[in-house]
Amino acid sequence: MSGNILVLTAIDDELDKARAPEGVEVIYSGVGKVNAASAATLALLVLRPRLVVNYGTAGKIHKMHNGLVEVAHAVQRDMMAMPLAPRGRTPFSPEIDRLSSVHKGVTCGTGDSFVTTPDPWLIENKIDIVDMELYAIAHVCQRHSLPWRAFKFITDEADDNAADHWQDNVRDGEDLFWDAMKEIAPA
């Protein structure tokens, strides 16, 4: 696959890999940062893509975001090693805490929890949306000097109805994503 595009998504409910155009490989990572980092590392080493694209669903923190959004920045919303480092920062790590795709878009807070309640830290740190995989994927890409992009479909409002809304909307972003991919990987 060397030189092509790798799309990483958590589960097949989010994206049907049979719809991938020529030159695009879809890999399901599983849910959460550990699964995403493991799948991303293995896929990069084996497939050697020229670009990694993460697609998935997300909850919105700011009400203005709807539909498919592109992500500009990823942060870890659940790295809580205080007092060794402030929330969001990995202690004793030279890595950057805010990873950038170099494309315009929203800021995504990644964590190994499904957000269902307000979190003032998210607002204070200008987090627009929340997911469970992107930061890990972006971190692997940065370590391997590989460009990444991410697109998230807003399924819920990260509130006490989030799980039901996610279930109802998990498949609704697929067409929008494949339309966006036409500009990245033209046929």
Q: Which superfamily is assigned to 5-182 in CATH? A: Nucleoside phosphorylase domain (3.40.50.1580)
Q: Determine which helix (DSSP H) or strand (DSSP E) holds 100, and give its type and residue range.
A: strand 98-100
Q: Are 77 and 186 in contact (CB under 8 A)?
A: no
Q: Are 154 and 61 in contact (CB under 8 A)?
A: no
CB-neighbour burial class of residue 98 (10 A; exposed 0-12, middle 13-18, buried 19+): middle
List the pLDDT tens digit at each of the 187 positions of the chain: 456 999 999 999 999 999 999 999 999 999 999 999 999 999 999 999 999 999 999 999 988 899 999 999 999 999 888 898 888 888 888 767 889 999 999 999 999 999 999 999 999 999 999 999 999 999 999 999 999 999 999 999 999 999 999 989 999 999 999 999 998 876 5
Where do the structural domains in the chain lie, given as residue ranges? Answer: 5-182
Q: Please give the radius of gyration of the chain, using alpha carbons only, rounded to the nearest integer.
A: 16
Of 136, 184, 124, 176, the closest CA to residue 152 belongs to: 176
Predicted TM-score (pTM) of the model is 0.93
Question: Helix, strand, or coil here: 71?
Answer: strand
